[in-house]
Every structure is written in C-alpha cells, then in structure tokens.
Structure 1
Amino acid sequence: MKSAQVLSVHLHDYLYFKDIDIFFDSRLNVITGETGAGKSLILDVFGILLDVTSGRVDNYSADVVMNILTDYPEYNIYSGENVFSITKRANRTVFKINGKVYPKRIVSNILSDYITLHRQNSQMKILDPNFILNFLDEVSQNQEILKEYRNWFEKYGKIQKLLSEYSLEKLKMEFEVIKEKIEEIERINPSIEEEEDLNRKYKVALKFQETVEKYGNIINYSEEVTERLWEIKNLVDEKYEDSVNTAIDIVETLKLDLQKELDEIEGYDAKEIEERIWDYNLLKRKYGPTIEDVLENYKLLKKQEKEITERIELLESSSERRKKVLDKMKQYAKNLSERRKKAAEKVLNEFYKHSKDLNLSFELEFEFSKVEFNNFGYDKVELLGSAVKGEKLKPVRNVASGGELSRLMLALELSIVSDGVLIFDEVDAGISGITGNKLADKLKEVSKNYQVIVVTHLPQIAIKADKHFMVNKEKDFGEVLELDERRRTEEVKRMLGDETVLKFIKE
C-alpha cells in the first residue's frame, strides 16, 4: 500500500443513513448527489473523530477502517489496518480503536497524523493569524521548541504576576505576624494528651486537703489492721498462716499505693497547673475553639510561612530571575521566528507550483512583525496577497474572493501535506468553468501520491474519479451507491444539466 489510506466507512446509524458501507479507492474518490441529499453528512464521521466538528444528531454510530503507517506502542496500536469507532448515546460519546475505548484526544491525535480535512468555509481559517502561526509551526516541526518556549513564558508570567500583586514590604510584615503566631503556639507546645492530663491533675489538686485527710485515715486504719492480723497469726494454727499472710500482703500493698499517690499529689502545684491551663485556654480562644483546631491552624500557619518565605525569596531575587527567564524566553521565541520564516519560504515555493495548476494568479507573502510576548512567541504573521501583478500586497482578507480563498487554502494545504489522506467537502465552492477544469486536473494529479476523497458539485471533478459514489435520499432513508460506468455517465449528465456531449474524458 503506497501510504496511509481510509479503506472503508460504515455508518451504523447516522441521521437517515442506516447500515451503510463505503469502500474507498486508494486514489481519487468523488461523492456527488442532489443538493440536500446529505453528501457532507458522509464526511461528518471524519470531523467527529478528528475533533474538529460535532455530530449533527443526538445519537449515532460509525466506524472508519484505516491503514496507518506508524506504531503507537504506548497505546498498544500498531501500523496496518485499524478500526476507529465513534458512538453517541444518551449524551455520552465513546471513542474506540479496535474495539477498545480510548480518550477522544488520543483518537484525534493519531488520525490527524494522516488526515487533512477541508470542510465548507474552512478557507476562512486562512484569515485567522493563529491558524497561520500553527500552520508554519507544523511545517517547521516546532512542537518541542514551542513547548519549551511556553514553559518559560508561563514562568515569566508568574514572576510578573507576583511582582504586580505583592509588595516585598507588605510580605515581610505579613511574615512577621505569622511568625509571631507560630512562636506563640510553639512556646506553649500544646498536645491533646497533655490537656487531658492537666484537667485530671487540676481536679485532684482542688481536692488536695480532703484527699490527704482521707488517705491518711485509710493508712492509719491499715496499720491497725496489720497489727491485729499479726496477733491473729500468732493465735491460729499453722494451717491458716498462708491465709493470714495473704491478708497482711493485701493491706500492706494498699498502704504503699496510697502513700505513693499521696506523694504524687503533694508534688502537684495547683498554681502552676492553673497557669498551664490558662495558656491552653488562651490558645483555644485565638486559634480554637479546641486544641485539635489549634494544632490544625498551626499546620496552616507553617504552610503560609513557607509560601511567604518563597515569595519573599523570589521577590528579593526577582530582577535577576526575571532577566534569566526573559533571556530564555527570547532565545526560544527567536528560534521559533527564524524557523517560521524559513518555513514560509518553503511553503511559498510549493504554493506557487500548486496555485499555477489551480489557475490561481495570486502573489502571496507572509508578513512578519513583532508584538508583545504571547503564547506563540513574539511573531505576528499576516498573509498578504494581490491578484494583480505589480499591485501593492494587502491583507488577503481584503483582496481575495470566496473562490480565491478556497483555492488559496487548497494550495497551502497541498504545500505541507506529506503522506496521508486529503478530504475535501465542496472544495469547489465559488469555482466553475476553466478553473473547475484546473481543479479537477489538480486533484487527479494529487491522487497519484495521496488518497483523495471529495464531495463536489463539479462534473469536471466527477469525471476524473477513480471511484464515484452518489448519495440519494428518499423520504427518511438515505443510500450511498458506488456507480458503474453507465450510472456514472447518467450522474455526470445530471450534474451538467442537459444531454451535452461530455467534454472531459477520463484519463
């Protein structure tokens, strides 16, 4: 197979097209039919898969079988025949490759490597400065350089925004306030566990005297009990001594525990505990209402401290940093501009070859001027032209007719296409007569190297087709017929409008 190629399209369900198969030739394919029959609907599936248009109905389903030339191992997709599918049901659109669901972006990116789609009024894109820049970047293969430039442009924007939004003096004052709050919390160093312990100790400290008296009485009583138990031990038989000893041990253990707790309680300083609790309550009033909230706010304050520190450091070194970023940005922007200018020369050389074949007498020039840095660099590119030799070149939007714009766009597209499929939806808009003959010859010539699919009203183009399809619509039913020579002749006669002998003979 000579290059990438659309092998077939299957419309399961698209408006009034139900279960229709279209098998394309590797060269020039022409789709014709009465106005309103739905010729352009056949191409909708390509627009949807390429993410350049949306479907015209709420529910649809279609497949495109295509031979691609490159492996995409990261997506488990390889060269050869692949099935690209699109289905929309209940406002949910699903994209698939070989039956497996993929994001729309991946599907459109792969197909856009091979398919150039020229739809009705797409020649108007030629008037959009961003389209021209993208066009030149595609020729220059600037994608990686543009990505690097935009990275530096984003950094530069952040520095500029920082400089415009923040004052170094105000940031330092804000930093001091946050630092003071952090130090206040850190000085107290609160914890949930300590707060619980403080509350417990404070309750004990408030009942200190009562507790001491109570525990003292218990200890005194325990000593008396111990004396009586020793007396009992001297009176009982030997077989009861173990029981008495156990009783003595229990009483003595109780005395030791009570004494230990008394010693601990006597070490409590109620005033000191009160002061500590006061510190906790102060923090809770400021950063609470709970210690959990205080600790969470402490984390937020530390985060703010880090962010402000970074901003201060950035502002303090802003001049040097901004200069470094700006130098890098200028370097990449200059590289982009130089590559675009070389691409413009290359495109113009190719353009004049194609425009001559399209009966387009039009001088063209890419005018470069510098503007403020933006997402594309510092280039502003205006497409200038003139249909009259020797006339001063003016913006194409002011001097080109609809038919000339269409042919201009076609010539530019042909100037950059390398290997793939060219799809044209009524590229003949505004074209007739000898120019139509030239366009037909050009499409035939191009189809020697690329697969071409054309929706057209021109009989000159239809005659040149390697495969001719006709779209019919009967009430709510649509069909796509692959024409044999007899029916093809009838269709061309219909397009001519009378029984005039066909002037163009298929080569």
Structure 2
Amino acid sequence: MISRLFIKNHLSFESCELSFGEGLNVFTGVSGAGKSVLMKALLSAFGLSEATAQVVEVDAFCTLGLDDISDESPNVFKVLKQNSARYFLNSQSISKKNLSSACASFVRFLGAKESGEFENSALLGLVDALVGEKNFAKNKADFASIFKELSSAKAELEKLKTDESHVEELKELASFEINKISQINPKIGELEELSELKKRLSKRDKIEQAWEGASGIFEFESAVIRALELCERDSAFFSDAMNELRSAKESLSFEEMSDDEIEGVLDRIEALSGLERRYGSIERALEVLASKKAELEKLEKIEFEKTHLQNKVNELNSSANALASELSKARKKALPKLEAKLNEYLEKMYLPALFLELKESIMSELGLDKVEVNLGAVNLKNISSGELNRLRLAFIATSAELGDSRNSRIPTTAKNQTGVLILDEIDANLSGKEAMSIASVLEMLGQSYQIFAISHQPQLSSKAAHHFLIEKKGEISSARELSKAEREHELARMISGEHVSQEAKDFAKKLLD
C-alpha cells in the first residue's frame, strides 16, 4: 500500500504532499488541472514512467524481495532529477530497469493502450488457477522442464544441420591445414638449430680458407715439443693446446655435408619459417594441427551426432506432447468455471456474456493451448473503448479473486492487499448506469487492491474511500483530500458543470448516502 506521495517542481506542481488510505482513491478535477501529471509523478517513483519532477518521494508498505536492498516498513522510493534522473530505494541507489522490474508485481498501471489481461499467458494463468486436478501442477512443471530441454536440443540440431550443409567444405579446409603442417612435421626448437647452422654455412669459404692458412702450425708441433724437452720444460700444456685446435678445426669441418644436403637445410628452414609466419610460432602451428584433427574427427562423425540428436528431439517431443495433452484436458474442464466467473462481473457491468475457447497453438512453454475471448458475437478488436475497459476490469477482478494468479510472486502489503492498481479514466465514455457498475466493482476490488483512479464521472467518485481534488489556479496545480461536504460539492460540479444546480446537489448527496 502507498501511504504518502511528495513531489517538487513537477510541471504545473510546485510542491505537493498527499497521504493515501486503503481501498479506492479517486482523483477528480476539471480537464487540464493536472490529474494525469500527478499520476505520472507517482508512477515515476517506481520506474514505470519518465521522471520529470525535481523530486518525487513515495512511502509504500510492500515486500520486494531484492537481494542487495533490504525491505523496510515503509519502503521509501525516491527520484531526483537535474540533468538526468537518479533512482533510490531506502536511500540506496538502484537502476530504473531493476526498480521497475522489482515493482512490476506490486504496482499495475492500466493505461488506455495497455491490454495485458488478454495476453495468452495471463489467460492461461487464470484457467490454471481453477484446475482442481492434483497432478496438474506436477505435469505443468514437468512439461516446462521438458520443453526447455527440447528447445535446446532443437537449436543444437538446427546448428548441426547448418554445419552439415557446409561439411564437405569444412572438411576440405581442415584437411588442407592438417596436410600443410603434417607434411613439414615441425619440431619445437628445430628452426633455431637450423638457423644457427645456416649462419655457419654462410661463412664456410672464409672458415676453410682461414684454417688452410692456420694448418701449418701442425707441421711444427713435434719440433716445438722437442725444443721444450731439451729445455727440460713440461710440454703437456702445448700438447693440450694443439689438441684443442684440432678439435676446433674438426668441429667446423664441412667436408661431410654435400651441396645437396646444404640445399636441403636451406629448404627446411624456409618451410619452417613459412609455418612461423602463418601461425605466429611453431608451437602455435602444432596446436592448430591438433585442433584441426579434432575438428575433422567431429565433422566425420556429424551424421552420427545428427541421428543421435534427432532421436533425442523425437523422444522429448513425444513426452512434451503427451504432457501438453494432459494439460489441455484439464484446462478444457476448468474453462467453463473461468467463463462463469468472468460473466458474473460482466453481468454486473451490463455487458453481454463472453465466450472462451481453448484452441491448439504452436507449442510454447505454456503448452499447446491458446485461449480466445469473444464478447457476445463480437471480436475483441471490434469492441468500443468503454466495453474494453469494463471487460479488462472483469479480468482484473477475477484475477484478484483467484489470488492474482498472473504473478508467481505476490507482494505483501498492508491489510493483505495484493498490490496497487492505477487506472486512467477507466469509466470514460460510459453512461451513468455503466459508470456506477464499474464503481461497484472497483469498490469490491478495493478489498484486494489499493486503487488509484482518475475519473470524470460522479458515480465512481462517490464510491471512493478517499477523494482527492486536483485544482489549477493560473499555472500552478494543487491537490488535497476532500471532506464529505466538499465531496458533495465536487460531485455536484461533475454532474451539472460549472454552475451547480440544486438538483445536482441533491443527486450528489444521494450518491454519497
């Protein structure tokens, strides 16, 4: 329940603070006084309308169940706007999207263009609330689980079929990559070793020429040793040095490599360098090789996987159809009950009886059922706005009677009311008798909802638990709750216009009494 509204600098309102009570709260006033402006400010606090006020603050008793913001009693909703709007709940910042989502089951706004009561999910929700079979809830949950799995399997199968149409092309590309890398058969570190050999090969002629000039030292080796021995000096150091020289010469010898072998080394380096340029490194080339081999293996098994998936889809589809059929049978039995409940309200509001029909539809998470609504012999698309408003009200009242089955999470409010219902001229374009019938239904509905209604009809206003007058003096709007005497005068104005007659006063008094 909303207990308080404060707005500041909101279009024609400089400042306004109102307190609200339970049941039916009605807002009246001449056209252009600011009734819709006030209602939009109220909606903006819940993220359900664009914020245009500098400040909007609302106190509301409700349970929102947010993980990161604790509920308080009351919860305080606040909107501040300078260059952009900022939203707060209990002094904690919250995004508009999260705010509106959290309030969706607490505040319901029925504008002229809104017709969510006739969405198939809402209609089936009402039907399901009247199904008395004990296994229905389990069948419904089982169906939802199977349908989710079926949808996933179908999507996977479609992807597989798409892949299959390109499978030969994909296999050819994978085989090309595999062959390109496998033919070279690279080894990690091989390119570095061959590159070092290439450097030495590039100096082959210079190295051989240098050693040819230095080889003469070996001719004097025995003479040097002889001289050292005659001098009684140890010649071991000289022998070691000469052995080191021989080893160095032999290690740099190119005599064992033919020209063809050298050419092979150069070709190998070029092939490995090509892989490195293409893949970034030899390590990455080996990773691609392993990946493409796995891809090719999967592509070669695609027909097997497709058959397996198709069998799975067939099995799930069979199970889903069987459960959907059980749901349909139960719904067909419950449909007359819903039809009867709705027609009770329609009769009160002077509308012809409606007919509900359960038709087979494309499978969805709700089953195979679609509820069609016809008012008398007329399709919903062809009824007047007044008829549509009364029909919507019948669905809302039935929904409240069934525990608001449209929502899985029912917010807790003061006096066990199921939430807040905001109506924008629901009694527009109606006769006095029709307007009074709507007023009576809303008065009853006020036991379940706290209702905010804009009205230009005295019948609805007379049924209000709290009556607010919106006035505009010059360019400034104001709002206040009326006393009983003030209500009588406002109803008389609504009946006779600017010049209030005695007959209008008498009728207004009769309405209030």
Normalising by structure 2, we get a TM-score of: 0.76
1:55 — aligned with what? 50
Seen in structure 2, the aligned counterparts of structure 1 residues 472 and 216 have a Cα distance that, compared at 3 Å, is farther
Q: After superposition, where does 1:45-124 map in structure 2 within 5 Å? A: 45=41, 47-48=43-44, 54-55=49-50, 57=52, 61-69=55-63, 71-72=65-66, 74-78=67-71, 80-87=73-80, 90=83, 93-122=85-114, 124=115
Structure 2, gaps ≥5 residues long: 130-136, 404-417
Shift of 1:84: 2.8
The 8 Å contact of residues 386 and 429 in structure 2, kept in 1 or not, is answered as yes
Distance 1:372 1:505, change over 3 A: closer
Matching residue within 342, 347, 358 for 2:338: 347
Q: 2:37 aligns with which of 36, 41, 46?
A: 41
Aligned to 1:467: 466
What is the Cα deviation at residue 409 of structure 1? 0.3
Residue 388 of structure 2 corresponds to residue 397 of structure 1: no
Aligned AA (1:199)? S
Matches within 5 A, 1:232-311: 255=245, 258-259=248-249, 261-262=251-252, 269-280=261-272, 283=275, 287=278, 301=292, 305=296, 308=299, 311=302
- SS of the residue corresponding to residue 110 of structure 1 reads helix
State the one-letter code of the partner of 1:6: I
Maintained 8 Å contact 1:436/1:458: yes
Specify the code of the residue in structure 1 equivalent to 2:62: I
What is the one-letter code of the residue matched to 2:75? N
Alignment-mate amino acid for residue 463 of structure 1: S
The 1:258/1:461 distance shift into structure 2, 3 A limit, reads: same
Task: Supply the distance in 1 between the matched residues of 2:333 and 2:11 (Cα, whole angstroms).
Answer: 46
Query: In the alignment, is the contact (CA less than 8 A) between 2:467 and 2:481 conserved in 1?
Result: yes
The separation in 2 between residues aligned to 1:265 and 1:482, in whole angstroms, is 113
Alignment of 1:70-469 (within 5 A): 71-72=65-66, 74-78=67-71, 80-87=73-80, 90=83, 93-122=85-114, 124-125=115-116, 131-137=119-125, 140=128, 148=145, 151-152=148-149, 154-155=151-152, 157-159=154-156, 161-162=158-159, 165-167=162-164, 171-172=167-168, 174-190=170-186, 193-215=189-211, 221=217, 255=245, 258-259=248-249, 261-262=251-252, 269-280=261-272, 283=275, 287=278, 301=292, 305=296, 308=299, 311-331=302-322, 333-334=324-325, 337=328, 341=332, 344-357=335-348, 359-374=349-364, 377-386=367-376, 393-398=377-382, 400-417=383-400, 418=403, 419-469=418-468
**Residues 298, 369 of structure 1: CA spacing in aligned structure 2 closer, same or farther, 3 A cutoff?**
same
Using a 3 Å threshold, how does the CA distance of structure 1 residues 8 and 213 change in structure 2: closer, same or farther? Answer: same
1:184-240 deviations in Å (ceiling 9; x for gaps): 31443446843343233223234335424435655765996998699689979x9xx
Mapped to 1, the partners of 2:154 and 2:178 lie a distance apart of 32
Displacement of 1:323 in angstroms is 0.7
Identify if the C-alpha distance between structure 1 residues 250 and 338 changes in structure 2 by more than 3 Å, giving closer, same or farther: farther
Matched, 1:490 2:489: yes
Mean CA deviation greater in 155-164 or 23-32: 155-164
* Distance in 1 (alpha carbons) for counterparts of 2:18 and 2:294: 62
Q: Match of 1:324, SS? A: helix
| Matches of 2:14 and 2:228, distance apart in 1 | 110
Change over 3 Å in CA distance of 1:304–1:440 after alignment to 2:
same
Counterpart position of 1:20: 16
CA contact (8 A) 2:153 2:312 kept: no
- Matched letter for residue 317 of structure 1: H
Distance 1:210 1:226, change over 3 A: farther
Q: Is the 8 A contact 1:62 1:86 kept in 2?
A: yes
Deviates most, 190-199 or 247-256: 247-256
Does structure 1 retain, via aligned residues, the 8 Å contact 2:109–2:422?
yes
Question: Residue 153 and residue 232 in structure 1: after superposition, are their counterparts in 2 closer, same or farther (change >3 A)?
Answer: same
Match of 1:389 in 2: none
- State how far apart, in whole Å, the 2-side matches of 1:407 and 1:272 are: 92
Partner of 1:504: 510
**Aligned 8 A contact 1:30 1:467 in 2:** yes
Shift of 1:404: 1.6
| Structure 1 gap segments, 5+ residues each | 387-392
DSSP 3-state at the match of 2:112: coil
Q: Deviations over 1:42-96 (max 9, x none)?
A: 2224555666x64285x75533321114644x33433632123345554x55443
What is the alpha-carbon distance in structure 2 between the residues aligned to residue 96 and residue 113 of structure 1?
19
Please give the per-residue CA displacement for 1:244-267, whole angstroms capped at 9, x wherever unaligned. Answer: 99x969957963773574269957
In structure 2, what is the Cα distance between the partners aligned to 1:401 and 1:331? 41
1:394 & 1:223 partners in 2: Cα distance? 124
Q: Residues of 1 paired with 2:362 and 2:160: CA distance?
A: 18
Cα-to-partner distance string for 1:12-68 (whole Å, 9 max, x where unaligned): 4433334432221122211111112221222224555666x64285x7553332111
* Percent of aligned pairs sharing the same letter: 22
Checking the alignment, whether the CA contact within 8 Å between 1:84 and 1:97 is kept in structure 2 is yes
Bigger drift between 496-505 and 216-225 goes to: 216-225
Q: 1:345 to 1:495 in 2, by over 3 A?
A: same
* Length-normalised TM-score, structure 1: 0.77
Q: CA RMSD in A?
A: 4.2
Could you say if the C-alpha distance between residues 125 and 114 of structure 1 is closer, same or farther in structure 2, counting changes exceeding 3 Å?
A: closer
State the shift of 1:410 in Å: 0.5
Letter in 2 for 1:315: K
The one-letter code of the counterpart of 1:371 is S
Distance 1:39 1:251, change over 3 A: farther
Measured in 1, the distance between the counterparts of 2:175 and 2:465 equals 79
Q: Could you tell me whether the CA contact under 8 Å between 1:215 and 1:258 is conserved in 2?
A: no
Counterpart-to-counterpart distance in 2, 1:337 and 1:259: 95
Q: 1:332 to 1:252 in 2, by over 3 A?
A: farther
How big is each residue's C-alpha offset from its partner over 1:110-157, in whole Å with a ceiling of 9 and x where there is no partner? 3222223222243x555x6xx133342376489967863652453254
Q: Which moved more, 1:20-29 or 1:485-494?
A: 485-494
Aligned CA distance change for structure 1 residues 158 and 265 (closer, same or farther; 3 Å): farther
Change (3 A) 1:470 1:307: farther
2 CA distance for matches of 1:230 and 1:103? 100
